[in-house]
Amino acid sequence: MRKIFFAAAMIAAAAACGKKEQPVPPSPAEAQAAQPAPSKNGQAKAPQAYKRTDAYFRLPSASGGEIDLASYAGRPVLLMFFTETCPFCRKAAPFIESVNKKYSDRGLAVIGICIEEDKEAPLAFAKSLGVTFPLAYDGRELSRKYRTQGVPYIYLLDRSHEKYDVWEGYDPSYDASIKSAAERLIDGKK
């Protein structure tokens, strides 16, 4: 009896070794992100599974819920790390808002990431500056992951959400460079 049990266990173990690991089902945000996006000619593109990069994040949204980078799959994303009272962040915000208004219809997503833990900080920032793009908060750990060295830090992620370009701090002299880089990604150029 013992030999039969041992033989059965060995056969089961050998059979299991040849099987591939079963994939983890996607989260609701990842499933939604895998939906086909319309192309320029109006036809739907084939869905692709979202591949998480080092830039991936999911943070609480100041307006409720979460901001999950996977929900922006296939789109270039402009990120700005900020704090509510940072003078250079406040100087950058109107320009970033203008980028949002100019390019969001063309596929660019813009997200602000407040490194403060308090939900009220990004809400006050948005209210005082007229910001309409999505704002996340509690992003300090993410800012470390992105290796920021203060705020503001502005990142442009390509359609695969790889880091494409970065601007440390903010100066109006960055405006043309940020727009040019965004346009290249929107137009499918690198």
pTM: 0.75
pLDDT-derived band at 62 (thresholds 50, 70, 90) equals very high
Q: If you average pLDDT over every residue of the chain, what do you get?
A: 83
Regarding the domain with residue range 52-186, which homologous superfamily does it belong to in the CATH classification? Glutaredoxin (3.40.30.10)
**pLDDT single digits (tens) 126-160:** 999 999 999 999 999 999 999 999 999 999 999 99
79 Cβ contact list (under 8 Å, min separation 6): 110, 111, 112, 113, 154, 155, 156, 157
Q: What pLDDT is stored for residue 13 in this prediction?
A: 35
Helical ranges in the chain per DSSP H: 2-17, 28-33, 87-103, 120-129, 140-145, 175-186
Answer whether residue 44 shows pLDDT above 70.
Answer: no
DSSP helix/strand/coil, 45:
coil
Q: Which residue has the higher pLDDT, 106 or 4?
A: 106
Minimum mean pLDDT range among 24-28, 52-56, 76-80: 24-28
Q: What is the mean pLDDT of residues 69-92?
A: 97
Strands 163-168 and 153-157: antiparallel
Rounded CA-CA distance 158/73 in Å is 10
Supply the pLDDT for residue 48.
64
Residue 163's SS3 state is strand
Q: Read off the pLDDT band of 49 (50, 70, 90).
A: confident
- The C-alpha atoms of residue 82 and residue 140 are separated, in whole angstroms, by 10
Give the domain ranges of the chain. Answer: 52-186
